[in-house]
Amino acid sequence: MPRPPPIRLLTTTAVFTQLLRPAAACCKRQFIDRYNLTGTALPTAWHNLTVNEARRQHVMTAMGFVPGLLFDDPRALRLEFGVRNGDMISYTSATRPASWGRDAVVASSLPWDGFDSFKGLPKSTLNAAKLGWGAGKYSVKGALPKVPSHVRLHVGWFNETLPPFLDGLGRGPVAFAHLDADIYTSTISVLDALAARCRLRLGTVLSFDEIFGPKGIENEEFRALNEAAATHGFAWRFITYLNHPKTLFGRAAVQVTGLGQRCAGVARAEDGGGGGGGARGGPGRRGKKRGGS
Ligand SMILES: C[S@@+](CC[C@H](N)C(=O)[O-])C[C@H]1O[C@@H](n2cnc3c(N)ncnc32)[C@H](O)[C@@H]1O
């Protein structure tokens, strides 16, 4: 009689690739199909990069969608929400798209602003906790990272640091924002603060680090995006996404393609009629289906 195969203990990597990955593939694929993301994917060659390298490529590709006029506006804001150890902002702030629509970057020392409590995630919902995003996750215990000198760090909770920044030093249109705070409450506080002050422009790019993937994740960053768009009347479309096979989480960036009446008026008054240089890729459309719970 043939002997049964020996019982193997799975390493952590094997647990991920053999047990979790099929489920992740299912949920990420559902989102991609539901919102018709195909066509905005990064080349699959990037799947050979590490997850972190691929994340950087995704963010830089998304940044390339910002219209040149908006990116180079001296008032323009380049922002990160969720800085932690400064890896991503150190990378993104050091480079910029070489020219609009080109897949190339050049060195840059344009100002960036990064926001973080440096104490980890605030307490949130049961859903966030189930996704592994409990209070204090990603804390660096208040230690500030070393970042390039053209990056200003704003230490504290977003709802306390962002409004005064936008009402003072940071009076300008948002060219690009990387939202990497994971959870709904943090992300909505950012989007509300920006949109209520009419800082989004046609062409603004918002890049989300964990917008799709495991079950329940759409109630976090994606819910915040949909709610902010509905509340403040802006329209957006997906421009890029990253579905890396070695992570459960899917990244995607969106571009603002329409502004509510009030903010369109503010943009005309502040920018002299341009509203930020215009979005690439035709008329605005939102995702097919509204997110949120
Ligand atoms: C996943 S980490 C960011 C990683 C970083 N972007 C990178 O790629 O290196 C999330 C960060 O968001 C911060 N954060 C989340 N919600 C926040 C809030 N409401 N106010 C301030 N910081 C917050 C946490 O402190 C944490 O450092």
Residue range 133-143, pLDDT digits in tens: 999 999 999 99
Tell which atom from ligand 1 comes closest to the C-alpha of 55: 8
Residue nearest to atom 19 of ligand 1 (CA): 186
Predicted confidence (pLDDT) at residue 129 exceeds the cutoff of 80: yes
Homologous superfamily of 12-271: Vaccinia Virus protein VP39 (3.40.50.150)
By most ligand atoms within 8 Å of CB, the mutation choice from 180, 185, 221 for ligand 1 is 180
pLDDT confidence bin for 264, thresholds 50/70/90: very high
Residue 95: pLDDT band by 50, 70, 90 thresholds?
Answer: confident
Instruction: Round to whole Å and give the CA distance between 212 and 32.
Output: 9
**Most distant CA pair in the chain, distance:** 84
Please identify, by atom number, the ligand 1 atom nearest to the C-alpha of residue 121.
Answer: 15
pLDDT, residue 108, reads 87
Q: Which ligand 1 atom is the nearest neighbour of the CA of 158? A: 20
Flag whether pLDDT at 100 surpasses 50: yes
38-94 pLDDT, tens digit each: 777 777 778 889 999 999 999 998 999 999 899 989 999 999 999 999 999 999 999
Rounded average pLDDT over 117-146: 96
In terms of Cβ atoms closer than 10 Å to its own Cβ (0-12, 13-18, 19+), residue 286 is: buried
Q: Using one digit for the tens of pLDDT, what is the confidence trace for 156-180?
A: 999 999 999 999 999 999 999 999 9
> What pLDDT sits at residue 16?
44
C-alpha dist (Å) from residue 233 to 225, 252, 266, 281, 285:
11, 21, 14, 20, 12
Answer whether 221's CB lies under 8 Å from 231's CB.
no
Question: Within 6 Å (CB) of ligand 1, which residues are found?
Answer: 82-85, 87-88, 116-122, 138, 157-158, 180-182, 186
Taking the centre of ligand 1 as the mean of its atom positions, its distance from the CA of residue 116, in whole angstroms, is 6
Q: What is the pTM of this model?
A: 0.86
Q: Domain segments of the chain: what residues?
A: 12-271
Mean pLDDT within 245-269:
95
Q: Where are the alpha helices (DSSP H) in the chain?
A: 12-14, 21-34, 51-63, 68-71, 87-92, 126-130, 158-167, 184-196, 221-232, 261-271
Mean local confidence (pLDDT), 121-126 = 95
Higher pLDDT pick, 275 / 286: 275
pLDDT value of residue 136: 97
- Residue the block writes with tokens 């307490």: 123
- The CB density around residue 159, as the number of other CB atoms within 10 Å, is 15
Mutate to test the pocket of ligand 1, among 50, 53, 84 (most ligand atoms within 8 A of CB): 84
Determine the average pLDDT of the residues in 221-248: 95
The answer, yes or no, to whether residue 185 has pLDDT greater than 70, is yes
